[in-house]
């Protein structure tokens, strides 16, 4: 980067998973498509209405704070953040300023500054010469996480955002689905040739984690090119245009004083250590991603398979259910069939993501043991697994019914091998002249003769013996 170092901090907003909104009893439903259905006088800021605090949202915040090893405040309060925008019905947002719920902590090895709780705005929708506002989102509980400026590359941005997304899903705090607007990433970035921080630019309107990485990459290059030309960068907010892969100027960056923060007079002060039993909450936390990674590594599972299970909690839960009934080699075999074959059937639409909750774990263990005992070959095992997913039947019964029990009898298979050799004299001559890759052709023909039940390893050995005789 021409001697420049990028310094990056992230602000990430996440919708918390609650039944109702942050300060009203309206439904908090990100899947609602009809505009202005989940609204109330509180959400619309009717005169005389008063907010009430959603305790579940606070509990989510405490759980997140404990999971990231942050400091959960005892005293906290809400503040009014004053600014005018059409999607802010009150003319201010209820947020937090001096006393966030969580201070410090880290995610993916990157230090956090704070995590605070606020309400979301409504949604503006623009139609050429006019705009409309949907208030369904107004007042949804919103967690804002701010990192220290300790990230330096676009890869850091992507890694942090993905790890946070996974952590929130493990905790049940949020689905963090960016496509549904449940997680929004904003990149604060500057470049400099020394330890002095450069002029910070904030990039907003980023629609995916990969786009956040692209926005950081573009902005690093843009700022370096500007400085190399002798231009002066200004502190500003820029938007991200995903179709062009560029950022564009939106407005000058506001400072805290521009918002005229002051404590929210209609809400009580909170003492979280009295409201919640922090030790009990900490003890109730699930196994977190980093702990799960270490456990899987100790089991000898490959890194790429580990990341599949870390990102797919239902698959990981299924693996954990069956692990106690398998030895280590069988576990690794099971990992392959879960992460490759079942995942492949889900990708093809032959199974739903919920299959891990309905597939009979005892039958799956039995299937793995049959494969390990050479009772099934690879093709037969795949066929039986597909049938099990459709009908949830005993693999032993399926194998017997469909004639898929593997034939390991060398004497019986030898007769088939000799028959195939007699059927293809030209290919035999080619093999003997040096085209040894034809061994796969012969084994394939023998597998057809056995209707898939022949042991391909034994067949390969027998063909090599007969053809080289």
Among candidate residues 259, 281, 303, the one where a domain is terminated:
281
Structure tokens at 53: 């605090």
Q: CA-CA distance, 370 to 287, in Å (whole number)?
A: 31
Asked whether residue 58 falls in the same domain as residue 187, the answer is yes
For residue 295, the enclosing domain spans 287-401
Nearest to 54 by CA among 85, 27, 84: 27
**105 found inside a domain:** yes
At residue 1, the pLDDT reads: 61
**206 found inside a domain:** no
Asked whether residue 374 falls in the same domain as residue 429, the answer is no
**335 found inside a domain:** yes
Among candidate residues 281, 299, 328, the one where a domain is terminated:
281
Asked whether residue 396 falls in the same domain as residue 427, the answer is no
**236 found inside a domain:** no
Q: In this predicted model, what pLDDT tens digit does every residue of 212-224 receive, in sequence order?
A: 999 999 999 999 9
At residue 254, the pLDDT reads: 61
**210 found inside a domain:** no
Asked whether residue 382 falls in the same domain as residue 454, the answer is no
Asked whether residue 256 falls in the same domain as residue 158, the answer is yes
Asked whether residue 77 falls in the same domain as residue 183, the answer is yes
How many domains are contained in the chain? Answer: 3
Asked whether residue 163 falls in the same domain as residue 265, the answer is yes
**198 found inside a domain:** no
This prediction has a pTM of: 0.87
Nearest to 333 by CA among 290, 295, 376: 376
Spatial CB neighbours of 69, under 8 Å, sequence gap ≥ 6: 104, 105, 106
At residue 78, the pLDDT reads: 98
Asked whether residue 416 falls in the same domain as residue 326, the answer is no
Q: CA-CA distance, 366 to 397, in Å (whole number)?
A: 11
Asked whether residue 49 falls in the same domain as residue 130, the answer is yes
Asked whether residue 277 falls in the same domain as residue 296, the answer is no
Asked whether residue 308 falls in the same domain as residue 178, the answer is no
At residue 467, the pLDDT reads: 85
C-alpha distances in angstroms, 397 versus 53, 365, 368, 370, 393? 57, 14, 14, 12, 8
Let me know: does 376 contact 370? Beta carbons within 8 Å: yes
Q: In this predicted model, what pLDDT tens digit does every residue of 320-343 receive, in sequence order?
A: 999 999 999 999 999 999 999 999
Per-residue confidence in pLDDT tens, the chain, 469 aa:
678 999 999 999 999 999 999 999 999 999 999 999 999 999 999 999 999 999 999 999 999 999 999 999 999 999 999 998 889 999 999 999 999 999 999 999 999 999 999 999 999 998 989 999 999 999 999 999 999 999 999 999 999 999 999 999 999 999 999 988 899 999 999 999 988 899 999 999 898 999 999 999 999 999 999 999 999 999 999 999 999 999 999 877 566 668 899 999 999 999 999 999 999 999 999 999 999 999 999 999 999 999 999 999 999 999 999 999 999 999 999 999 999 999 999 999 999 999 999 999 999 999 999 999 989 988 889 999 999 999 899 999 999 998 888 777 788 888 888 888 889 988 888 888 888 888 899 888 988 888 777 888 888 888 888 888 6
Phi, psi of 428 (to 5 degrees): -65, -45
Among candidate residues 401, 426, 443, the one where a domain is terminated:
401
**275 found inside a domain:** yes
CATH number, domain containing residue 423: 1.10.10.410
**434 found inside a domain:** yes
Asked whether residue 29 falls in the same domain as residue 152, the answer is yes
């Amino acid at each position: 980067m021409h001697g420049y170092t990028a310094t990056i901090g992230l602000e990430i907003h996440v919708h918390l998973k609650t039944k109702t909104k942050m300060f009203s009893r309206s439904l908090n439903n990100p899947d609602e498509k009809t505009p202005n259905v989940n609204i109330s006088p509180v959400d619309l800021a009717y005169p005389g209405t008063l907010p009430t605090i959603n305790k579940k949202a606070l509990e989510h915040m405490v759980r997140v704070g404990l999971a990231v090893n942050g400091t959960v405040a005892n005293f906290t309060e809400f503040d009014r953040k004053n600014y005018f925008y059409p999607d802010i019905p009150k003319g201010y947002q209820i947020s937090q300023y001096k006393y966030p719920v969580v201070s410090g902590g880290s995610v993916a090895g990157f230090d956090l500054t704070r995590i605070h709780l606020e309400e979301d705005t409504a949604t503006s929708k623009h139609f050429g010469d006019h705009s409309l506002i949907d208030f369904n989102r107004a007042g949804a509980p919103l967690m804002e996480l701010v990192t220290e400026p300790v990230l330096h590359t676009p890869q850091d941005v992507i890694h942090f955002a993905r790890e946070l997304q996974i952590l929130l899903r493990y905790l049940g705090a949020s689905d963090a689905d960016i496509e549904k607007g449940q997680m929004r990433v904003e990149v604060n970035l500057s470049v400099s040739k020394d330890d002095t921080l450069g002029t910070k630019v904030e990039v907003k309107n980023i629609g995916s984690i990969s786009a956040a990485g692209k926005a950081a990459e573009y902005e690093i290059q843009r700022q370096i090119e500007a400085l190399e030309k002798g231009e002066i960068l200004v502190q500003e907010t820029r938007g991200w245009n995903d179709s062009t892969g560029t950022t564009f100027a939106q407005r000058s960056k506001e400072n805290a004083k521009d918002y005229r923060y002051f404590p929210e007079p209609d809400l009580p002060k909170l003492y979280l250590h009295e409201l919640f039993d922090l030790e009990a909450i900490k003890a109730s936390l699930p196994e977190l991603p980093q702990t799960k990674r270490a456990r899987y590594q100790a089991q000898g599972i490959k890194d790429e398979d580990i990341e599949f299970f870390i990102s797919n909690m239902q698959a990981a839960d299924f693996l954990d259910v069956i692990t106690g009934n398998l030895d280590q080699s069988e576990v690794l075999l099971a990992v392959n069939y879960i992460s490759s074959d079942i995942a492949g059937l889900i990708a093809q639409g032959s199974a739903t993501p919920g299959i891990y909750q309905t597939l009979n774990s005892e039958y799956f263990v039995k299937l793995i043991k049959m494969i390990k005992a050479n009772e099934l070959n690879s093709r037969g095992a795949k066929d039986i697994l597909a049938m099990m997913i459709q009908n949830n039947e005993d693999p032993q019964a399926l194998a017997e019914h469909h004639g898929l029990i593997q034939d390991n009898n060398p004497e019986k298979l030898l007769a088939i091998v000799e028959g195939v050799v007699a059927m293809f004299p030209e290919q035999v001559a080619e093999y003997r002249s040096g085209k040894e890759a034809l061994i796969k052709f012969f084994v394939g023909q023998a597998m057809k003769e056995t209707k898939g039940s022949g042991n391909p390893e034994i067949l390969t050995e027998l063909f090599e013996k007969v053809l080289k005789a």
